[in-house]
Amino acid sequence: MTPIKTQDTGLRTKIDEKLSRWSVAAFGIGAAGEAVYLGLFNTFITIFYNQVIGLSNTLIGIAIFVALLVDAITDPLIGIISDKWKSKHGRRHPFLFAAPIPLALAIYAIFNPPEAILNEVDNFTNYVLFAWLASCTIFSRVFLTLYSIPHLALGGEMSKNQNQRSRLFSANSAFSYVTGALFGFLAWGVFFDGDHIRAVDGVVVPGHLNAASYAPLILLACSLVLVAIWTTAAGTYKHVPSLSEPPKQQPLSFKGFFKEILLTLKCRNYVVLLAGYFFFMIASGIYDTLGVFMNTYFWELVPGQIRWFGLVSAPCALFGALISPVLMRKFDRKPVVIFSLICMAITAQLVVDLRLLDLMPDNHSATLLPLLLCNAGVFAFVIGLGAVAMMSMIGDVVDENELETGLRQEGLFYSARAFFAKASFSFGHLVGGVGLDKFVRFPSLAVPGAVDADVLFRMGILAGPIMGIASFVAVFFYGKYHLTHSMHIKIIAGIEEHKRNQQQPKAKAT
């Protein structure tokens, strides 16, 4: 990576004003609520519905695929509505205050399907259970979007300065990864720790394979979601008077809705980011679907061992998120993203590939867990490093679009990115679910240590080389991004000049 040279024009404007630590922290803490939800959903949803309840991985994959596609459509819709929203509470905050309660209720419903469905075991009730999972997931994702899209757009509005914006998204990533890791530690180390007797067959299994272990964890998750998101809403409310005003009101229609999404594709740099993120999220969907299955059956780790992944990942991800703005100031955004993506693609599959080549220690070996933890730490570091840079890139593209069109549309650009990301992420979940059933042929009510070796080998192929292909394709597309630091300085100067030119006629008129 080559250091960038910055220009000092000697001019100080409102975009250079430094945000207080409280404002940065208040913006970031909302990500804790989102991290708790995503931790539950991405980590436990597949193994809960497959190994605890008995729904096939294919139906689980289809349910998540359908739910995330619906969610992908609502993302830009909520972004556009948020961009156009007019109220005394601003464009973003009404959504931040409204989202938490229905989101918490939806989370509870996902992990508590009606007993009437669970008591019957036949094809019809399986499809009813599939419908329950799909519908509850749709509602939960819509209400999460009701918070997340206005929240991301708020970060783009609170400052137009690259460094200040990087601080906001760095805090956002830090809260997200630390909370996710600590919540995972509690789940594995407290709620799922020890041996449990599975009610269905009386077999002794780890806690995450026992339905009764989930109830207190879900109540804790719902409480954390409420507190975190409302804290962000209240803590950033003082900034409402200084945020961007909505554009001239235009009627919202489905034709206009899709037209606005397509308009974002006129920006070349934005298309490149979307393409790269598309393949990155396919890999992420496969990785998340298989993660718990790999730890439980492939590596044969118990909850007391799995809990340490969170404690290792938290400081590493935090360090990556905090150092990302420093590296971006020195090397620019693109080199940081490319470096982090290459490292992600390698570390996500490295230990699996080594096991397939018989180059890793045997399960239950004293050296296995330390090696897995070291790999997980590096993976978490580059995730934190890249996440901040990726989100900051979107903010820069929004500035580029404002200079070209005169419109400030953070909500649209962040939500359109989420649209394509969730569409690809849902496809990744579908590939993972169908792959577990049709390619891996993973059995139901499986017991760790008793799964056939051929099944575990096929699961390693899916979680290693197959997943890795999409990761490296993402690197190729991010390499086509061309918005540099020096170009962004000129863009901001152009925006400020345009605003001054607009204000001069008004001053003369008065």
pLDDT in the model for residue 95: 86
> What range does the domain containing 486 cover?
19-238+253-509
- Find the mean pLDDT for residues 316-338: 86
C-beta separation of 291 from 298 below 8 A? no
Q: Is the pLDDT of residue 19 over 80?
A: no
pLDDT in the model for residue 273: 85
C-beta separation of 269 from 397 below 8 A? yes
> What value does the mean pLDDT of the chain take?
83
Q: Is the pLDDT of residue 490 over 90?
A: no
Q: Is the pLDDT of residue 510 over 90?
A: no
What CATH number is associated with residue 385? 1.20.1250.20
Please tell me the pTM assigned to this model: 0.77
pLDDT in the model for residue 474: 87
Residue 400 falls inside a structural domain:
yes
- Find the mean pLDDT for residues 473-490: 85
pLDDT in the model for residue 252: 55
Residue 3 falls inside a structural domain:
no
Residue 143 falls inside a structural domain:
yes
CA angle 40, 42, 44 (to 5 degrees): 55
d(CA 241, CA 237): 9
Residue 330 falls inside a structural domain:
yes
Tokens 């439980």 correspond to what residue?
A: 296
Q: Is the pLDDT of residue 372 over 70?
A: yes
Residue 6 falls inside a structural domain:
no
Residue of higher predicted confidence among 89 and 53: 53
Size of the chain in residues: 510
Q: Which residues pair with 195 in a beta bridge?
A: 206
Q: Is the pLDDT of residue 208 over 80?
A: yes
Total domains present in the chain = 1
Candidate from 156-170, 211-225, 336-350 with smallest mean pLDDT: 156-170
Residue 245 falls inside a structural domain:
no
3-class secondary structure, 315: helix
Q: Is the pLDDT of residue 255 over 70?
A: no
The amino acid sitting at 230 is: W
Q: How confident is the model at residue 482 (pLDDT cuts 50, 70, 90)?
A: confident
Residue 487 falls inside a structural domain:
yes
Span 102-155, pLDDT tens digits: 999 999 999 999 887 777 666 777 889 999 999 999 999 999 988 888 888 787
**CB count in 10 Å sphere of residue 114:** 11
- Find the mean pLDDT for residues 200-220: 88
Q: Is the pLDDT of residue 237 over 90?
A: no
Q: Is the pLDDT of residue 5 over 50?
A: no
Return the structure tokens found at 334: 């693109």
Q: What does DSSP say about strands 195-197 and 204-206: parallel, antiparallel, or unpaired? A: antiparallel
C-beta separation of 348 from 466 below 8 A? no
Q: Is the pLDDT of residue 8 over 80?
A: no
Residue 195 falls inside a structural domain:
yes
- Name the DSSP letter for residue 249: P
Dihedral angle, C-alpha 8, 9, 14, 15, nearest 10 °: -50
d(CA 342, CA 347): 9
